[in-house]
Structure 1
């Protein structure tokens, strides 16, 4: 007889599908975050709370669920919702672009079982009631009970506060799954738990699973502290889902346990950071609208572990000295931009030996790829010392080549220990030839479900299934890395061989030349002061003596003494040029005081000579017996003779130095003529036959090229210097100016660093203020209803809201974070400015207007670059228009120019040239930083700003600032 039977599902199946399929906590979190993405959330966060027990929560602002959704979808394993249905209406998307579903099997929610033994999920649809479900995952560890016998509580309620009363009742329903009921189900459950408890006792368990479940729900672990962190629970969001995990896994609990500071805890924490940093693809030109963060709650303190802006992204990739960015087509052919040592080689192509499959279950499909790195050896890099140091730090945090599907990361690729393309294995064989280093590279492979349907997740969600499509992907990427290393980047590359000596020589020459010039100048100044200070002091004494003698000659009218005085004066005046101090280095160090003493003495000496010259003329005119015409000729002849003697002295010194220089260079040239002979002579002593001829010819050719480059480096600078001397260029003066300019620039850099520190401080303080803002808002909402209805409370809450709006301005000033270019409309700028200055406009009776032409313009750039420019300009206008009767500020777009105008008194014409200088201001209490930052920020992206000149549009009678945006469009 044939029996007709079906599979019977034990409760343990859920445990196998959930906890048994997950490798670690970060992977489980990423699965739950992907569920939030599928629900069209724009933000998701993980919160970890200390306490007994520790609790974690995942909050999102997705479309949410009601009780029916919990019953028909969330509690259905392998739901058909993952299968595309053209007749099914789309979910609520909140105006977002359609998203490819990340879930495949309908079991991602079971990842929560890995993170904690018990879960409470609370959710709300837009304008709908709240719904909640409670699950104790330990119920599904029992192999002796049927899945159908496990019942989970689901509740629906209107007001969030009602949940507190419902939780104990839901716990009772949950505990009923342990049996003890009089019905048939209860008896089956009781027998099943008795069997399981007996098994655990015989196995030596200290506490049975049933006893642990009973104890866990005697006191509700979930309370206000956890629930009121969810914005939807406080009424701050109208929809979303909160998943609360009770008695969390050790891998999460170590974050908030005071004693968790050992090596194991550090490994666990690093793994979570490595996995969740860069959860969304930072290398796409457009940023995915999905923010994420991880926050820790220790007592009343809240701190951030990571957030979506903590990435190395597309803009940073383009700043690397080496990078590749392009895509593979269906034939496996890669086309993309290649940059080597900062030199853009344009679009290059890689063709594999054979194309990958294009049809069937082995089809790979099109995908994008990018990778970038930098030279480890600073002597070989084109980056500055500061850039190189920053890249080392970023490589420690963000290094690795990850894989992203539809913008979300596929775990675990990109981790230090998940080198899917075997970059480090090849590097271990020959670091120079294979070039790339996994831990020092930044990059990703970008696949999609539509183009790459055969790249599927493993059952454990730890990587992609090792099928042919995945192997073909690895073969293509590995082939590209090897090929491009050989052609462009590695030690076997002709391009690298050509460029690297120049880079290394330029780095070394620049450093050596600067150091030598600086040392020589300091040595020359030191020697000069030491040798000529006595002569200067003697000259000062003689000037003083001659001045006294001149007075005596005038008094006595002694012609003989007048003649002697004139001769002594001419002799002393001849020393003027010899005693002139050389240009001083920008930093004198211990020579500062001596140099200043000499400089001041020389000025006194020159002033004394000038006075003596006047006195000599007076004496010549009054005491001398010569006719005035003859006296003038005599004076002319005297000065002519003095200057001729001086020029002759200079010429003799120059000729002497040229003779020495000529001798030195002739000797050096003699040595260089024999250098090739010395190098190649030993080679000529060996027998050369047909087999070794090619090697011999290549070797002597290499020696010739080497010496040729060495000679060029030695003789060319000398020829350039002689050309400059022939053109009358003062090399010493030019070097002095360069050195001084360098010093000035270093001072400005220090000033800019100080300004940058303001940005860093803003980032740190802003983070703390965000935390405090959440604390203030949360606790204000906890006040009794009567207080919240009072006018005092409303005024205080309005002031707090205004403060938080001001804090929004801080976010664009942050130094770190993701920097994706976006389409910025004038409408968004106008709304931002209007919101930010709302109270200032209202309190000062200022009319703010953004014209339709301005509102319809569009520019592609970083919001963090553009928004602060308008805030700074309008902030200045607010100050100046308050001194006017007619108070207006207007943003306009005229003849392709953006105009920020006000009705204040305008800028004084004498100040226009200095408006954008750092620290220049006419504003009382101003710092002179705002306009400078405007010009600097815009200049980075090749935009420009100026004060309106005669030919520019003047929208209002006061100040009119003109901004020219590169790539600006207008839809009007």
Structure 2
């Protein structure tokens, strides 16, 4: 009698050749971990070694289970066949899990990831961990050899004590057994294939005992159980899968297949996901990048945050019953018929759906701007409709490129008409293995078989998305009123904000321009120069009048006229210096600080320049009159000066009164016109309707037609009434708001608008800067990491080179020069340490001499180029502070760097930067041009800089880091240069 014979290549054909790719293979192994009741399954991929480690904390396997289940294809235990093995163990402490692996070949997916694997497993039986591990080594290349029967290949298996993880010698024994099998088959194998497999076996050098020292849980320590796979070398194509990205905001092929292995976005009846899968990618010896994890996918918080939510269940006839929530309003009950069922139960069975939609235009959404941007980026990468069967994702559904419902295809025909887009939605279709058993996956795990059940399933969903878009998101939709109203309101609000922002921007620019001119004039002493010219001109004219031969009375009148001209010129100058702050406009921190500086300087000029000039004019005229005995009428001078001021004030208030009355009249006119238009619109609609009613009466209409006409007329009248009532309500609210905020102290709605806008501008500025700081921090952390690796290698090389330099005079000089340059470069490394305090947790004593030496070395070249001398007093050199060098060194570097820049604008020598001590304070001062009064308040502000190409972050970061260390950073008021003071904070000094 003949029998079937099984070639070894069957393993390769059933496994590696059936799996679509590495991501699919990893997903299969995740499913196996799920079936083993693991709560976590984790992958650590080490690129440099090509080592791929997959570990779970499931029930593991005994040696018997490993041989009879894991090494047996098509096991029937999962099907509970009466003649098969006993069912696989279950964990009584967890809810029962449906078995995902149906064919018993998912383990063969390992061959897709790499050609050889070490398997370690420890079983838990009846809640107790077994006292041994089972280990096995497999080279999948043996199953690719033509002409070899399956029973000719031996898989070495060995038991190890639970307290003893296998080391290199233990693994070597397993590997040598496979090598012996290969040698026994040598005469039947092609020479090239034999050499390839033999070479790979020789290079397999995995040491689980060593790996366990840096990979903690899941592990085998204590009562740890589960299964671990050590695959080496992993196929390099995995790196291409991870790294390849068509666009910055588009998911990689790797992410598309593995993200959302379990449903973390919605809360289901099953509760939280039974298992969490993670994938860590070790690009180098630094910290790994988590490619797959519980936070990489959508969270329940993000799901609830989007604009619209639809959830419900399709019954066995394909009819939908559920809830539709538009813009976070209380949801409506919604029932939708599927007409293709003909009243017969579907083969696909009942299933549930829940998804959320984010509006595509920021002005149409309720989501705050900062959250909207983050959600949009995440949806662009991972948005879609994911299918979960028994809580585990079915691939490739959810991948936006796999448009199985033609959602994106229809959207290209009309985005507004079809509405939905995968890149604007996150959703879950929840299947049950028992209820939806006819929805079966293809052998290669690339989707469902396209049988009748799948075609019904697809038809039901396509009908659902077409009809919900028509009912809720089109203007003529049956239930689209709420969507249209709220979106319209959001659009109006966005337009109002845009108009307000445009007006505010124009006012701010004009205001900023006036301030800039003021400070330019201040720096150039133009006001003082103009005052000096006015006084000089007056003195010349007064002297000429006094020395003339005209009568005394004529001289008196002439002097009083000259005095009035001088005062008028000063008044014009004073008016030019007066800048009005725009009302109802948020200025932002920097512009507000300039405004405060302007008020201080304008007041100083008023007292120190203008008022002194007025006194000088008065004294000049009086002096000339006394010297030449000219009789001046004191009261006439007094009266003339005051009358001139009264005239000017009256002119100004009359002009303001006229402008206010004109604005009030225009407002009244527009309000009355709006009220009249609304009243007219309602009356016109009512009159038109009454005319149509009379026409219907004369023509004769059936009772049914009258009922439908009544509904139509009521809707028309209701729509126009609702529209015009909303218009009048908004107008009424604005009037009431104006009246309600008007108080005797002058506080009104404009003040409130200004305060709110000020806060909004500040929050926007801070958000942008914090994002920029985060990006800078990430970049610098990368630089620091690479710098550390390079410097470490250089230090090691210099240590080895030193011994050669000692005995080789020709090499010694080169060594010393290279070492000196390296030490200078190494000094820069200190600058990066504040980015990660873990590098420098302990405080240390920092001496002033150390700081001075560090700065001298760091800036030596720039000091020479710009002829700057760095000085330090003896008190500073002897001063000692306790703190983190990673905080204080960068602060001094920043202060000295700024001082060098400022000193470049100083003419002549010397150019000095001095480090000094004042009491317990540290002081850094220079003899440069100093800080302009305009900038004193802003110099510590985020993003403020006068330096070309500067980022305006140095002093802000310096002050913030010092504050966390318990110190303050202040700018002293000085007559020359700039002086920065570092003070220890006390209860009385929190500045």
TM-score band, normalised by shorter chain = 0.5 to 0.7
**Structure 1 spans left out of the alignment, 5+ residues:** 181-192, 194-207, 547-559, 616-634, 773-809, 814-835, 841-878, 880-917, 919-923, 932-972
Secondary structure in structure 1 of the residue aligned to 2:439: coil
> Judging changes above 3 Å, is the alpha-carbon distance between structure 1 residues 322 and 929 closer, same or farther for their aligned structure 2 residues?
farther
Partner of 2:104: 106
Secondary structure in structure 2 of the residue aligned to 1:292: strand
* Greater RCO (Cα-Cα under 8 Å, separation 6 or more): 1
> Judging changes above 3 Å, is the alpha-carbon distance between structure 1 residues 425 and 521 closer, same or farther for their aligned structure 2 residues?
closer
> Judging changes above 3 Å, is the alpha-carbon distance between structure 1 residues 84 and 763 closer, same or farther for their aligned structure 2 residues?
farther
| Alignment partners' CA distance in 2, 1:527 and 1:112 | 72
Question: Does the 8 Å CA contact 1:66/1:124 hold for their aligned counterparts?
Answer: yes
| Alignment partners' CA distance in 2, 1:98 and 1:666 | 75
**Structure 2 spans left out of the alignment, 5+ residues:** 124-128, 539-556, 617-637, 700-708, 791-834, 843-882, 884-941, 943-958, 967-991
Q: Does 1:350 align with 2:334?
A: yes
- 1:15-74 residue CA offsets vs partner (Å, 9 max, x unmatched): 3322342222211121112112222252321525556xx564433343333432221111
> Judging changes above 3 Å, is the alpha-carbon distance between structure 1 residues 596 and 136 closer, same or farther for their aligned structure 2 residues?
closer
| 1:435 CA displacement | 0.9
> Judging changes above 3 Å, is the alpha-carbon distance between structure 1 residues 223 and 234 closer, same or farther for their aligned structure 2 residues?
farther
| Alignment partners' CA distance in 2, 1:762 and 1:100 | 48
| 1:274 CA displacement | 1.3
| Alignment partners' CA distance in 2, 1:536 and 1:583 | 24
Partner of 1:163: 170
Q: Does 1:518 align with 2:505?
A: yes
Partner of 1:134: 137
Partner of 2:261: 279
Partner of 2:71: 75
Q: Does 1:338 align with 2:325?
A: yes
Query: 10, 13, 16: which one pairs with 1:16?
Result: 13
| Larger mean Cα displacement after TM superposition, 410-419 or 566-575 | 566-575
Secondary structure in structure 1 of the residue aligned to 2:402: coil
- 1:126-148 residue CA offsets vs partner (Å, 9 max, x unmatched): 45333333334444456755444
Question: Does the 8 Å CA contact 1:157/1:163 hold for their aligned counterparts?
Answer: no
Secondary structure in structure 1 of the residue aligned to 2:281: strand
Partner of 2:289: 304
Question: Does the 8 Å CA contact 1:44/1:59 hold for their aligned counterparts?
Answer: yes
Question: Does the 8 Å CA contact 2:419/2:473 hold for their aligned counterparts?
Answer: yes
| Larger mean Cα displacement after TM superposition, 585-594 or 64-73 | 585-594
| 1:445 CA displacement | 1.6
Please give the residue correspondences for 1:169-184 in structure 2 after superposition, counting only pairs within 5 Å.
Answer: 169-175=176-182, 178=185
Please give the residue correspondences for 1:593-608 in structure 2 after superposition, counting only pairs within 5 Å.
Answer: 600-605=601-606
| Alignment partners' CA distance in 1, 2:610 and 2:192 | 107
Query: 653, 676, 693: which one pairs with 2:656?
Result: 653
| Alignment partners' CA distance in 2, 1:528 and 1:218 | 77
> Judging changes above 3 Å, is the alpha-carbon distance between structure 1 residues 35 and 231 closer, same or farther for their aligned structure 2 residues?
farther
Partner of 1:319: 305
Partner of 1:122: 120
| 1:518 CA displacement | 3.4
| Alignment partners' CA distance in 2, 1:72 and 1:385 | 58
| 1:166 CA displacement | 0.8
| 1:281 CA displacement | 1.6
> Judging changes above 3 Å, is the alpha-carbon distance between structure 1 residues 423 and 724 closer, same or farther for their aligned structure 2 residues?
same
| Alignment partners' CA distance in 1, 2:436 and 2:727 | 54
Q: Does 1:439 align with 2:420?
A: no
Question: Does the 8 Å CA contact 2:261/2:277 hold for their aligned counterparts?
Answer: no
Secondary structure in structure 2 of the residue aligned to 1:443: strand
> Judging changes above 3 Å, is the alpha-carbon distance between structure 1 residues 731 and 22 closer, same or farther for their aligned structure 2 residues?
closer
Give the TM-score normalised by structure 1. Answer: 0.59
| Alignment partners' CA distance in 1, 2:168 and 2:214 | 8
Question: Does the 8 Å CA contact 1:44/1:61 hold for their aligned counterparts?
Answer: no
Partner of 1:499: 486
Secondary structure in structure 2 of the residue aligned to 1:59: strand
> Judging changes above 3 Å, is the alpha-carbon distance between structure 1 residues 657 and 459 closer, same or farther for their aligned structure 2 residues?
same
> Judging changes above 3 Å, is the alpha-carbon distance between structure 1 residues 455 and 221 closer, same or farther for their aligned structure 2 residues?
farther
Please give the residue correspondences for 1:176-325 in structure 2 after superposition, counting only pairs within 5 Å.
Answer: 178=185, 193=188, 211-213=192-194, 215-218=196-199, 220-224=201-205, 227=208, 230-231=211-212, 237-238=219-220, 239-246=225-232, 248-249=234-235, 251-252=237-238, 254=240, 270-285=252-267, 286-296=272-282, 303-304=288-289, 306-308=291-293, 309-325=295-311
Q: How many residues align?
A: 747
| 1:105 CA displacement | 1.8
| Alignment partners' CA distance in 1, 2:290 and 2:170 | 30
| Alignment partners' CA distance in 2, 1:504 and 1:467 | 46
Question: Does the 8 Å CA contact 2:116/2:139 hold for their aligned counterparts?
Answer: yes
Partner of 1:965: none
Partner of 1:848: none
> Judging changes above 3 Å, is the alpha-carbon distance between structure 1 residues 926 and 589 closer, same or farther for their aligned structure 2 residues?
closer
Secondary structure in structure 2 of the residue aligned to 1:26: helix
| 1:293 CA displacement | 0.5
| Alignment partners' CA distance in 2, 1:45 and 1:212 | 30
| Alignment partners' CA distance in 2, 1:64 and 1:141 | 28
Q: CA RMSD in A?
A: 6.8
| Alignment partners' CA distance in 2, 1:82 and 1:358 | 35
Partner of 1:393: 377
